[in-house]
Amino acid sequence: MPLPPLETTSPIAWQYTAEGGANLVVSFAGPADSPFSGHALRLRKRKKRAGGVKGGEDAVPSEVDVEFGARIIAPLLGEANVVVMEKVPLSRDWLEELVEDMRAQGVRPAEREAEDEVDLDTPEGVVVEDLIAGRGVIAVEIKVRSAESFKCAVTDLTWLRQPKWGFLPSPTHLSPSTASMKTTYCRTCMHRHYKASDGEGSDGFCPLDLYSGNSARVHKALEQLYGSWMSSEGGINNLRIFLDGKKVLPGNVSIASSFVSRAVRLTPACLQADQASPLDYALDHLTTSGPPASPISRASLFAHALAPTLLRTPALPLLRELQSLLDVLDIEGLASLLSRTTGVDLARHFGPEEVQKLGGQPRLDEWIEWVGRYSPLLGRQQGGESSPLSHEEWDQSKATLESRFLASSTSDEGSPSPPWRDAILAYLLSATFKDCSLIIRLPLDSAASTVGTVKAIDLDPKPMNRLGKYWRMDREIVECWKERLERMEAVGRAGEVRQCREG
């Protein structure tokens, strides 16, 4: 349904909800009968720093940014697992008033405010379905990525952004020095153990558990996430919980009782189970006016409330499949392919000149053409529902993609691009799928809906100039991790290091 102009709404009816590196999101909090009710508006940001050129080095063409979700992501991940977006024209006066109101309310984090601002010159914004809004709705955002920084003791460099991958790479394209590490421990765990060695806490959370499809492991992962959320007083970056459209912090009584009602409805069997179960313990304390349940009990409630939805959604297996199939060469295999065929070495300087040599940042028509050729190889039917591949289909897709990317010449009649270029686009897409967030929406009051919905968000295209950074980051993490394992071995504690396991 086409929306009326934004100017028909008051700018102060839009309330700040969140922001990422490139965008800021405000939610409509105006009259419930407005066509914008239940929607959010995504606004593009620009850097404040002096000399920052608009559309600078990290730029993805804006036409790609807006259409990318509908034309590229939705056909691969499935319409049902992404949010519908609509472009809307923005007027500068309206936007200025909105920005002024946000400033007066002081809603943006100070470090963000210092760094960037809403781009008042953007002609368009994007209206999306608001997954967080709604009375009687619990919305849980799990960042499949985290935006923490970490410092490597070996090279003394600081890295930002550690995507949380749902898979382990296959050893085929890995170098002998990294293969055993990278196929035993997942990215997140290597990163976390590294941090733990710095004296920071370790919650034991492994994203492979969350993606495993195994009930016990999904419960465990959710309990660990919730436990960290509690102990960090809501400060951890990878879990946010909203009730009635508002962010809640640990200790909020209504969210705890909401999880109880949710968990009770979903898992009546738990109530008959032995009295010592954490769920019963929590119920005892929450339904009487006694002391609050212990953190572990609430964590268990949280897991009971969310797990059935996460176990049923195709979004997680599909994401994991796309992350891994599109990264079939690993960054190591991609680097050697590019150096062999184009002479561009990701390990050396990788700047604008190298990006140009590799064909430049993909434009929308190139992405569309690529998806047209590759979605059947990924098991996606045109216009059909996306469902995860069977083991056999997955193996077959993996082998086909590998041989396509590594072919010495274009095997595909009419393919406009060389195989190495196809491999670059695949890798960039895989980076997008590794860097998204999930929103789990659980209605409390509807008797009919026993299971909530899961949608993936923040699926923005990645700029090609990051390829060099991806290569270096991969090397760093493995080096740091290796160093830590050797230290653990030296003191006879290697057995304490948990290995990661795929589903």
- Please give the residues from 279 up to 318 whose contact with Zn ion meets the rule CB under 5 A: none
Tell whether residue 423 is a contact of Zn ion (CB under 5 A).
Answer: no
Question: Closer to Zn ion at the Cβ: 168 or 306?
Answer: 168
Tell whether residue 168 is a contact of Zn ion (CB under 5 A).
Answer: no
Sequence-ordered list of residues with C-beta below 8 angstroms from that of 327, at least 6 positions apart, any chain? 169, 426, 427, 430, 434
Distance, CA of 349 to CA of 360 (rounded, Å) = 16
Interface map 319-358 toward Zn ion (x if CB under 5 A): ----------------------------------------
* Shortest distance (Å) from residue 189 CB to Zn ion: 3
* Shortest distance (Å) from residue 454 CB to Zn ion: 21
Distance, CA of 325 to CA of 76 (rounded, Å) = 12
Tell whether residue 43 is a contact of Zn ion (CB under 5 A).
Answer: no
Question: Closer to Zn ion at the Cβ: 189 or 464?
Answer: 189
Could you tell me if residue 346 is left (phi over 0), alpha (psi between -120 and 50 degrees) or otherwise beta? alpha
68 contacts 460 by C-beta, under 8 angstroms: yes
Phi then psi for residue 90, to 5 deg, are -115, 140
Question: Closer to Zn ion at the Cβ: 61 or 503?
Answer: 503
Tell whether residue 444 is a contact of Zn ion (CB under 5 A).
Answer: no
* Shortest distance (Å) from residue 370 CB to Zn ion: 30
Could you tell me if residue 447 is left (phi over 0), alpha (psi between -120 and 50 degrees) or otherwise beta? alpha
Question: Closer to Zn ion at the Cβ: 189 or 467?
Answer: 189
Question: Closer to Zn ion at the Cβ: 35 or 171?
Answer: 171
Which residue stretch of 62-70, 95-103, 336-344, 493-501 sits at the interface with Zn ion (rule: CB under 5 A)?
493-501
What is the sign, positive or negative, of the torsion defined by CA atoms of 441, 443, 448, 451? positive
- Please give the residues from 176 up to 195 whose contact with Zn ion meets the rule CB under 5 A: 186, 189
Which residue stretch of 147-155, 261-269, 446-454, 494-502 sits at the interface with Zn ion (rule: CB under 5 A)?
494-502
- Angle formed at CA 425 by CA 421 and CA 430, multiple of 5 degrees: 145
Tell whether residue 40 is a contact of Zn ion (CB under 5 A).
Answer: no
Which residue stretch of 78-86, 145-153, 166-174, 202-210 sits at the interface with Zn ion (rule: CB under 5 A)?
202-210
Structure tokens belonging to residue 136: 């009687």
* Shortest distance (Å) from residue 387 CB to Zn ion: 26
Tell whether residue 478 is a contact of Zn ion (CB under 5 A).
Answer: no
Tell whether residue 83 is a contact of Zn ion (CB under 5 A).
Answer: no
Tell whether residue 477 is a contact of Zn ion (CB under 5 A).
Answer: no
* Shortest distance (Å) from residue 348 CB to Zn ion: 31
* Shortest distance (Å) from residue 382 CB to Zn ion: 35
Structure tokens belonging to residue 409: 């010449």
Q: Count of alpha carbons within 13 Å of 7, Cβ hemisphere only?
A: 8
* Shortest distance (Å) from residue 209 CB to Zn ion: 8
Distance, CA of 325 to CA of 427 (rounded, Å) = 9
* Shortest distance (Å) from residue 48 CB to Zn ion: 37
Which residue stretch of 83-91, 128-136, 348-356, 495-503 sits at the interface with Zn ion (rule: CB under 5 A)?
495-503
Question: Closer to Zn ion at the Cβ: 118 or 206?
Answer: 206
* Shortest distance (Å) from residue 350 CB to Zn ion: 28
For 106-142, b where at least 16 C-beta lie within 10 A, e where not — what string?
eebeeeeeeebbbbeebeebbbbebbbbbeebbbbbb
Q: Tell me, what amino acid is at 400?
A: T
Number of residues that bind Zn ion (CB under 5 A): 4
- Angle formed at CA 52 by CA 12 and CA 351, multiple of 5 degrees: 130
Question: Closer to Zn ion at the Cβ: 167 or 433?
Answer: 167
Sequence-ordered list of residues with C-beta below 8 angstroms from that of 127, at least 6 positions apart, any chain? 3, 36, 39, 40, 41, 42, 85, 86, 87, 88
* Shortest distance (Å) from residue 500 CB to Zn ion: 3
Sequence-ordered list of residues with C-beta below 8 angstroms from that of 107, at least 6 positions apart, any chain? 15, 16
164 contacts 454 by C-beta, under 8 angstroms: no
Tell whether residue 206 is a contact of Zn ion (CB under 5 A).
Answer: yes
Site of interaction with Zn ion (CB under 5 A): 186, 189, 206, 500
